[in-house]
């Protein structure tokens, strides 16, 4: 049985195949940079379900690839809650345990079950050319600029942004956010050289608190950045975690070089991309570092086009970070605000 047939069945009958009511189809072969996700669905709560399909037994290559691709999707869609799911004919006990511990979902569907569902639905392999569904994400994923506020220049944009109810409400949780980040920094500094997965969980719980925000749906703060990305890091040995952080805090190397080293083998931890790397740098020294991932970059590029198109490379981070700090200083924003401000500007304003 070919993967394309399983994909066609999921696309046509997602709720039946995955035993979940309310699933709807969003896209197939959805691009995340230079990569593509097999299928993207939406559940009844509005979350995007990123589905990887493999015929036969699920293998480690497919798991690592899908986690990596999902990270790219999260960076492109930072305000979208996602679920990461694997579908295969067989999934062994160890891989099920691995996925469960990291909060990933899986569905094991045998070839016999697939054929039974296909017969029940009157569906044949030749009945529906898969090309019919080879489309990009739907209109709802492309209409994010509806209702944006057009401004003549950056000064007008900032002035209007500061007057929004969203920003005013955000200011009410700023002290709590700053306090949590200070506690996370204390944990890191106290245990540098001996950090383990328990310390990392404490840090993530602090910085990812679902602050009370009346102006939008409650949710963990860095959720899209953290939730689906930290599983592999939390499963590393203490020695591997130590080696990773030794590179992160090596002041003998420029930040750009540290970022590039941590994004490449043998230092790379799947899921721990530039977003997490720069989050840790920011927590340790927020006066000198900013959180950086594609959506953040695109937001700042609206204000400073000279920083160019996002590449994810360390050298570009230096330019992004420089402009982010200039922006904060010039318009009297606190450094703790930048992660929120830049993304909100990208969502709701244009020049």
Residues 22 and 72 in one domain: yes
Residues 133 and 159 in one domain: no
Does the structure show a pLDDT above 70 at 22? yes
* Total number of domains in the chain: 2
Residues 153 and 260 in one domain: yes
Please tell me which residue, 125 or 350, carries the higher pLDDT value.
Answer: 350
Taking the C-alpha atoms of residue 86 and residue 346, their distance in angstroms, rounded to an integer, is: 32
Question: Which residues constitute the domain of residue 271?
Answer: 149-350
Per-residue model confidence (pLDDT) at position 129: 41
Residues 133 and 153 in one domain: no
Residues 118 and 206 in one domain: no
Confidence grade of residue 285 (pLDDT, cut at 50, 70, 90): very high
Residues 318 and 257 in one domain: yes
Verdict on whether the full-model pTM lies above 0.85: no
pLDDT tens-digit series, residues 120-144: 877 665 444 444 444 444 443 443 3
pLDDT tens-digit series, residues 261-281: 999 989 998 878 899 999 999
Out of 141, 157, 184, a domain closes at 141
Taking the C-alpha atoms of residue 247 and residue 227, their distance in angstroms, rounded to an integer, is: 23
What are the phi and psi torsion angles at 285 (to 5°)?
A: -155, 75
The answer to whether the CB of 75 falls within 8 A of the CB of 294 is yes
Out of 97, 123, 141, a domain closes at 141
What Å distances lie between residue 149 and 39, 165, 173, 350, CA to CA? 33, 14, 25, 6
Q: Which helix (H) or strand (E) holds 100?
A: helix 93-101
Residues 257 and 130 in one domain: no
Strands 35-42 and 349-350, sheet pairing: unpaired
Residues 74 and 94 in one domain: yes
Out of 112, 141, 170, a domain closes at 141
Query: Residue 154 has which token pair?
Result: 């950056």
């Amino acid at each position: 049985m070919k993967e394309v047939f399983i994909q066609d069945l999921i696309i046509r009958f997602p709720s039946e195949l995955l035993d979940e009511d309310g699933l709807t189809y969003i896209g197939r072969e959805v691009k995340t940079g230079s990569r593509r996700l097999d299928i993207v669905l939406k559940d009844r709560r509005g979350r995007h379900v990123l589905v990887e399909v493999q015929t036969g037994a699920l293998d480690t290559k497919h798991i690592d690839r899908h986690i990596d691709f999902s990270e790219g999707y999260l960076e492109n869609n930072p305000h979208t809650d996602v679920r990461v799911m694997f579908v295969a004919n067989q999934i062994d006990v160890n891989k099920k345990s691995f996925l469960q511990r990291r909060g990933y979902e899986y569905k094991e569907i045998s070839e016999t079950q697939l054929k039974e569902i296909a017969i029940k639905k009157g569906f044949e392999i030749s009945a529906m050319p898969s090309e019919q569904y080879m489309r990009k994400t739907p209109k709802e994923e492309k209409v994010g600029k509806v209702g944006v506020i057009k401004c003549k220049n950056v000064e007008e944009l900032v002035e209007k942004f500061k007057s929004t109810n969203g920003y005013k409400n955000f200011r009410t949780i700023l002290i709590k956010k700053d306090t949590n980040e200070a506690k996370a920094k204390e944990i890191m500094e106290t245990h540098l050289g001996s950090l383990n997965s328990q310390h990392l969980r404490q840090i993530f719980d602090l910085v990812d608190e679902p602050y009370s925000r009346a102006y939008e749906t409650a949710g963990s703060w860095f959720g899209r950045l953290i939730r689906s990305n930290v599983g592999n890091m939390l499963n590393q040995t203490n020695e591997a975690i130590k080696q990773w952080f030794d590179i992160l805090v090596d002041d003998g190397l420029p930040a750009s070089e540290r970022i590039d080293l941590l994004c490449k083998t043998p230092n790379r931890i799947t899921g721990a991309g530039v977003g997490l790397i720069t989050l840790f740098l920011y927590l340790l020294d927020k006066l000198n570092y900013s959180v950086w991932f594609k959506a953040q970059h695109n937001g700042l590029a609206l204000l400073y086009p000279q920083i160019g198109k996002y590449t994810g490379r360390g050298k570009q981070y230096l330019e992004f970070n420089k402009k982010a700090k200039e922006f904060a200083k010039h318009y009297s924003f606190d450094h703790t605000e930048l992660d929120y401000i830049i993304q909100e500007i990208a969502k709701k304003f244009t020049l």
